[in-house]
Amino acid sequence: MKLNIALLPGDGIGPEISQQGHAVLEAVAQRFGHKFTFREALVGAAAIDAVGDPFPEETYQICKEADAVLFSAVGDPKYDLNPDARVRPEQGLLAMRKRLGLFANIRPVQTFPALLHLSPLREELVRGADFVCIRELTGGMYFGEKHEGRDEAWDTNRYTREEVERILHVAYQMARRRRGRLTVVDKANVLASSRLWRSVAQQMMGHYPDVETEFMYVDNAAMRMIQEPRYFDVMVTENTFGDILTDEGSCISGSMGLLPSASTGTGTPLFEPIHGSWPQARGKNIANPLAQILSCAMLLEHFGLIEEAEAVRRAVNDSLEAQVCTPDIQVPGVEPLGTREVGAWVAERVFAH
């Protein structure tokens, strides 16, 4: 298979982990006889510094013409700590999602047997946890009408029936491929937008009789994820709730450096780790590249390259079992390795096994 892949390293540790994802995809291509071509582009603070725009037109065109985007992270303290900054790195991420039509964010949450001790929850609670969070990505408060004044501010949480229907279709189809259970997370007892979500879901249930549908308030879902993470199969929710719940879900595995994600919709699909840019670690060779590498597995799976995706996941699991780990997940008494060393180990494993 031939794939054209846009590489968007972004800021902070982004370039370091991007290199490892790139190397793993090259190893996949060599082992399985594929041809992957890569074009790198600017996004986030790096793009602001270079051209004054966090998502330049040239980057958009490179993404638009690609088969997939492998993105890393954006964010920089010089913008985060400046409340008067009108152009911010994160605006590039929002613009990218909107312009590429990426309305569905898919985040698998799972545990790794070798790392159960790292979870803040008891091992008996998290062992075997395996669910998927599907977050609506281009609507709600993040994109609604806003006002920011000196004494008053507001954000409008607006959704249309079409926006809700299309994300629910993605969630139902995911549930069909998994264990057949879908949890629709909302706040319908308080929010009008949530009542629209619930109404639309109730109308759609009959089209998916093979999927068990339940409704859960977001505060209850947040508690249930901690008390009983194995309860969930697929959950779907709106943009703001999804942003919070998926970060909470990352704690179940023990490290945000382990969880990948995919964003799909009407344009070029995008694959990225869920963690941020961690600018304090930039250039120190300590960032965990595994979430970026597992995002590559999701990329391969998206194009039907199932054997290739499994080869990547096996290599990651092998690295964890062999304690080939960066400092954030290393066990006491074992010397941690760097970003480059872990990435090289996984890439070699993919190629050789």
H or E, element range at 105: strand 104-110
Mark whether 155 is an active-site residue.
no
Residue range 26-54: mean pLDDT, rounded = 97
- What pTM was computed for the model? 0.90
* 11, 187, 208, 328: the active-site residue: 187
Written as six digits, the tokens of 85 are 């900054």
- What's the pLDDT at 41? 98
Place of tokens 């992270």: 73
Q: Based on the residue annotation, tell me whether 67 is a catalytic residue of this protein.
A: no
Q: Reply yes or no on whether the pLDDT at 347 is more than 90.
A: yes
Distances (CA, A) of 65 to 5, 70, 114: 9, 13, 40
List the domains of the chain with CATH numbers. 1-111+257-353 (3.40.718.10), 120-253 (3.40.718.10)
Annotated catalytic residue 187:
yes
What's the Cα-to-Cα distance from 331 to each of 116, 157, 237, 336, 337, rounded to whole Å?
Answer: 11, 43, 35, 8, 12
What's the pLDDT tens digit per position in 295-332?
999 999 999 999 999 999 999 999 999 999 999 888 78
pLDDT, averaged across the chain:
94
Phi, psi of 261, deg, nearest 5? -155, 165
Distance, CA of 82 to CA of 103 (rounded, Å): 29
64, 78, 146, 219: the catalytic one is: 219
